[in-house]
Amino acid sequence: MMKTKRCNGGLDPEDSLCCCEYIDRQGARTHIAACCCDCEDLDEVFDRWLKKESQSPESLSRVLATISDRLRVPWIFGARQVDLTLIPPLVLLPVFLHIAALHYLLAVVVLTIMPISVLWYYFFTHRKKGRTLFFLSLALFSLFYMFFLFIVLVVPRGDVSRLQLSAVTVGVSLTVIFLVITKRGPGYVRPCLSDTHSIVTYHTPTPDVDSACLSGAGRQDVIASPAAEVKKGNWINSCVGLANHRSFLLMLLFFLLTSLYGISLVLRSVCLHQSVFTALFYCPGVYSQYSDAVTFTCAWYSALVTGGLMHLLFSQIFNISLNLTEREVRKAHREHKSLGVRARGFWDNWAQFLTMSETSELLNPKQSSNLV
């Protein structure tokens, strides 16, 4: 059995971690090769199972936490932890799409179950306020996998020009660039109290961006506009607020434009002599060749994703146009109240959103509020 060394403080420079070592959740220095050692929690679960005793939720949680903590890959200056939620999209998405390409009835079943399952998991994690990389992994892998199939299956058919391919490539690149910018953080702003219209209670912002997105009993924080509101974006596993709200909208916009253009190119190539507007619903003979069926199924999948993100973009545009925050909209629906319209007007609301920055007017020094 490999021994572990407890680390109460920081590591000395001469005692740094090698590529296969890491500090576990108990603060002990251990090695990847010791992943099967010290499995008391797992032994307890199996003992209770063999004795036909009920399992306690705490023991199962400890087992899952231990497995997640020990699932690592060698890396410079210490082994890096691999989030288990990254893996399912990488495996399930290609499998389901290729199964759906076998027959149109399978396509109907798969393309119905997939969005329902993803939405259920989204609302489940949102309600539990859990942190997961599943949606970010699904979004990125969907983007790159669709682009890969476009290059491999559609471009060789000769129906896509170099200019069209360049346009799709630029669109994908801009989407990724603005995603990276968005994930830098939401930022904070302290507006003038005279411009505020909503006072909510939050935790004081901390370096951990997740805690900045969660509401709770804390100090009073002022929300002056949708740009100033910080909310957790589960789809990108990052907070969206003042500093990255505009880049978030640009990311959605470029993704939608690229997706719609890519879908039109795919349908023109696969569904010959059919209108782009009807080809998704009527494309005779598309399942006679498996490569065409895969391409057509991916076009349908992209259309579903595009529809969901289009709803997200329109909801953001609606909130900004009325100078409303997401929390105000949810509260109004929950309490069956009118949303109301801000006195600034449509153009002034957008001007405020586009020009608002972290150097806005500070709060009265007597106020100790922190903006979220």
Note the pLDDT tens digit of each residue in 32-68. Answer: 776 666 677 777 777 777 777 777 667 767 777 777 7
CA dist 98 and 295 (Å) reads 10
Q: So what's the pLDDT on residue 258? A: 95
Q: Which residue has the tokens 């916009």?
A: 253
CA distances (Å), origin 89, targets 116, 137, 232: 15, 7, 21
Q: So what's the pLDDT on residue 46? A: 72
Q: So what's the pLDDT on residue 348? A: 84
Phi-psi region of 98 (alpha: psi -120 to 50; beta: other; left: phi over 0): alpha
Note the pLDDT tens digit of each residue in 110-147. Answer: 999 999 998 888 888 777 666 778 888 888 999 999 99
| pLDDT of 341 strictly over 70 | no
CA dist 290 and 286 (Å) reads 8
CA dist 42 and 59 (Å) reads 8
| pLDDT of 245 strictly over 80 | yes
Count Cβ atoms below 10 Å from residue 161 Cβ, excluding itself: 11
Q: For residue 73, name the pLDDT band (cuts at 50, 70, 90).
A: confident
Mean residue pLDDT of the chain comes to: 76
- Torsion angle of C-alpha atoms 252, 256, 259, 260, degrees rounded to 10: 180
Note the pLDDT tens digit of each residue in 10-24. Answer: 444 445 777 777 787
Going by their DSSP bridges, the two strands 238-240 and 219-223 should be labelled as unpaired
Q: Which positions ≥6 away from 296 have C-beta within 8 Å?
A: 101, 266, 270, 271, 283, 286, 287
Q: Pick the closest to residue 31 from 72, 84, 82 (CA basis).
A: 72
Point out the least confidently predicted range of 7-21, 95-109, 267-281, 294-308: 7-21
CA distances (Å), origin 326, targets 75, 189, 241, 334: 40, 17, 11, 12
- The structure tokens listed for 38 are 């010290």
CA angle 143, 67, 79 (to 5 degrees): 70
CA angle 369, 371, 372 (to 5 degrees): 135
CB 324 within 8 A of CB 225: no
Point out the least confidently predicted range of 202-206, 328-332, 340-344: 202-206
For residue 285, give the DSSP letter: T
Q: Which residue has the tokens 């992209």?
A: 302
| pLDDT of 290 strictly over 90 | yes
Order of strands, edge to edge, in the sheet holding 5-6?
Answer: 5-6, 28-31, 21-23
| pLDDT of 199 strictly over 60 | no
Q: For residue 361, name the pLDDT band (cuts at 50, 70, 90).
A: very low
CA distances (Å), origin 213, targets 65, 130, 210, 290, 325: 23, 12, 5, 45, 14
Count Cβ atoms below 10 Å from residue 284 Cβ, excluding itself: 10
Task: Give the burial string for 237-246 (b: 16+ CB within 10 Å, else e).
Answer: bbbbbbbbbb
Q: Which residue has the tokens 């253009």?
A: 261
For residue 81, give the DSSP letter: E
Average pLDDT on 301-315 reads: 92
Note the pLDDT tens digit of each residue in 86-101. Answer: 888 999 999 999 999 9
CA dist 108 and 99 (Å) reads 11
Bridge partners, residue 219, by sequence: 202
Average pLDDT on 95-108 reads: 94
Q: Which residue has the tokens 């559609």?
A: 154
Percent of the chain with pLDDT over 90: 31
Q: Is 0.95 surpassed by the pTM of this model?
A: no
| pLDDT of 238 strictly over 80 | no
Q: So what's the pLDDT on residue 367? A: 35
If one compares 59 and 109, the residue with the highest pLDDT of the two is 109
Rounded to the nearest 10 degrees, the angle between the axes of helix 87-100 and helix 104-128 is 160
- What is the largest distance, in Å, between two alpha-carbon atoms of the chain? 73
Q: Pick the closest to residue 234 from 122, 139, 128, 140 (CA basis).
A: 122
Handedness of CA 265, 270, 273, 274 (dihedral sign): negative
